[in-house]
Amino acid sequence: MSMQDDAVQTFTPRDFHRQAHDALGNPQIRANFRKAMDGLMTKRHDSFGDWDLETLRELGANIRMRALAKLPELLEQLEANCQANGIQVHWAEDGEEACRIIRELCEARGAKAVIKGKSMVSEEMHLNEHLEAAGIEALESDLGEYLVQLNQQTPSHIIMPAIHLNTDEISDILHDKTGTERTRDVDYMTAAARSQLRERFMAADVGISGVNFAVAETGTLCLVENEGNGRMTTAVPPMHIAVTGIEKVVEHLRDVPPLYALLSRSATGQHVTTYFNMISGPRKAQEHDGPQAVHLVLVDNGRSRIYQDDELLDTLRCIRCGACMNHCPVYTRVGGHTYGTTYPGPIGSILMPHMLGLEDTKDLPSASSLCGACGEVCPVKIPIPDLLVRLRREAVGEGRGNVPGAGVKRNKKEVAAWKSFQWLATHPGAWRSGTAMAGKLNMLMPSKLGSWTDHRTAPKPAKTTLHALIKRHRKQRSDV
Ligand code: SF4
């Protein structure tokens, strides 16, 4: 079984509208997501039970804001303490540099096969493709990631990568790609995948993982997971490479428990996850297991640019729980692949425009009903709806212009139309004459107004304006 022969199925955010249209017409996608998301929303709700959720969210937000306020200093502290622990630290300005660093570390070790734990940053930088182009096989060990890799897809959710697949589809994938029996027995399929992966753990030269929290004061890397594959990835191969975004740093070890409580409950509705790993360096002289070398690759990839903007900086508080996606009426109907980005749903719509630029992602901030559910459930209180509005302004060139590609959606005719409307609405005399005239010309109004009327009927102005009706009504009353 080789992962190298298959091209991964990719979508692009430029085609968001077409992909959304296709997804909405696919009852299987809608059913899979609806069922999965309903379950996750209920579990999250029940898991917080009697907790004072608002106080906990406030605490989580404050911890993240404090870390971001001191980010440069904490990163230096993290580097110093990791190095004191024997963890070698590397800095990457973008995904390409991060891929190169990891490839060179693998090559220096003569690695031919790496095993990976779940890492969205490695998805963001397309690490698997990069390693495979260099002749190094990269195998995903998270069950969901393993399935989407077998199916030549990308994750459709940041926590549950294969959430778009139902039991029958998973059975087909395992049968077609690995020769297991076709079945609806989930335990059988899980055991089959586990035994396939177990052999690969033992044979891997390098293990690559993500990081949930990097603790500056102790140089500790925390990894939250449920399957034990993260622990195997970081402990079995002779070399462990952790890769993460620079924003994942927290100041103190005591900051981790509240964030962990918020993460596990918001993500999967669990009070605690099955595994919580704390990595504090390579194997010591007296120890019998663990990697001989541990590396940490800290990736910027646009995060410093976000950091410069005092509003969009809030995006960096994210602890990647996925709750905003689970509660989003757009994501739950179109699914994750529709967005064509590593991070889909509300978090992706506020994060990806910086990373890819608005030329490619201009439609994502508009892929929201602005119902506010994402902001209400976010465990670190990121004002997602406000940031979506800010990015919509950037897309039409009305923002501060800090995001690459700002103004790409600017339409001169639309701007002129809104300026005229603004003038009319602030000049009462002209407004009254204009609306009276529109009522008289009612029949001449076009029934199509571009994309505004693709899915709705153009409203016709009333023949009599509200002002005229009130005037007439008052007159009738005074006549009586
Ligand atoms: S934006 Fe908030 S809700 Fe969404 S993934 Fe990040 S932390 Fe979770």
pLDDT digits (tens, 9 = 90+) for 189-238: 999 999 999 999 999 999 999 999 999 999 999 999 999 999 999 999 99
421-478 pLDDT, tens digit each: 999 999 999 988 888 888 877 766 777 777 677 767 777 788 888 888 998 999 998 8
239-250 pLDDT, tens digit each: 999 999 999 999
In this prediction, residue 309 has a pLDDT band, given cuts at 50, 70 and 90, of very high
Given this model, what pLDDT does residue 84 score? 98
Query: Which whole number is the average pLDDT over 82-89?
Result: 98
Domain ranges of the chain: 13-304, 431-479
Which amino acid residue places its CA nearest to atom 8 of ligand 1? 321
Given this model, what pLDDT does residue 415 score? 84
- Contact between 242 and 211 under an 8 Å Cβ cutoff? The reply is yes
* Pairwise pLDDT comparison (3 vs 164), residue with the higher score: 164
H or E element, residue 30: helix 27-48
Query: Which whole number is the average pLDDT over 85-103?
Result: 98
Given this model, what pLDDT does residue 157 score? 95
Under DSSP, the state recorded for 462 is P
In this prediction, residue 28 has a pLDDT band, given cuts at 50, 70 and 90, of confident
In this prediction, residue 479 has a pLDDT band, given cuts at 50, 70 and 90, of confident
Report whether pLDDT(358) > 70: yes
Query: Does 318 contact ligand 1 (Cβ within 6 A)?
Result: yes
**Quick one: what percent of the chain has pLDDT higher than 70?**
97
Report whether pLDDT(6) > 60: no
Q: Quote the CA–CA distance of 191 and 178 in Å, as a whole number.
A: 13
Å from CA of 285 to ligand 1 middle: 40
Given this model, what pLDDT does residue 418 score? 83
The number of the ligand 1 atom at minimal distance from the alpha carbon of 319 is: 7
Q: Which residues pair with 249 in a beta bridge?
A: 214
Given this model, what pLDDT does residue 373 score? 97
Closest CA to 205 of 107, 97, 129, 90: 107
Closest CA to 115 of 227, 213, 245, 241: 241
Å from CA of 115 to ligand 1 middle: 27
Given this model, what pLDDT does residue 2 score? 41
Å from CA of 323 to ligand 1 middle: 6
In this prediction, residue 4 has a pLDDT band, given cuts at 50, 70 and 90, of very low
Query: Does 350 contact ligand 1 (Cβ within 6 A)?
Result: no
Report whether pLDDT(143) > 70: yes
Given this model, what pLDDT does residue 272 score? 94
Query: Which whole number is the average pLDDT over 394-411?
Result: 91
pTM for the predicted model, two decimal places? 0.88
CA atoms within 13 A on the CB side of 137: 16
Closest CA to 156 of 317, 312, 8, 316: 8
Given this model, what pLDDT does residue 8 score? 62
Query: Does 327 contact ligand 1 (Cβ within 6 A)?
Result: no
Pocket test for ligand 1, best of 224, 382, 386, 391 (most atoms within 8 A of CB): 382
In this prediction, residue 7 has a pLDDT band, given cuts at 50, 70 and 90, of low
435-448 pLDDT, tens digit each: 888 887 776 677 77
Closest CA to 29 of 226, 179, 164, 218: 164
- Contact between 214 and 228 under an 8 Å Cβ cutoff? The reply is no
Q: Which residues pair with 208 in a beta bridge?
A: 116, 241
407-422 pLDDT, tens digit each: 999 888 888 888 899 9
| Mean of per-residue pLDDT scores for the chain | 93
* Pairwise pLDDT comparison (34 vs 292), residue with the higher score: 292
337-351 pLDDT, tens digit each: 999 999 999 999 999
* Pairwise pLDDT comparison (371 vs 30), residue with the higher score: 371
**Sign of the CA dihedral 36, 37, 41, 42?**
negative
The number of the ligand 1 atom at minimal distance from the alpha carbon of 266 is: 8
* CATH class for the region spanning 13-304: alpha beta
Query: Which whole number is the average pLDDT over 393-407?
Result: 92
Query: Does 380 contact ligand 1 (Cβ within 6 A)?
Result: yes
Report whether pLDDT(3) > 70: no
**Quick one: what percent of the chain has pLDDT higher than 90?**
80
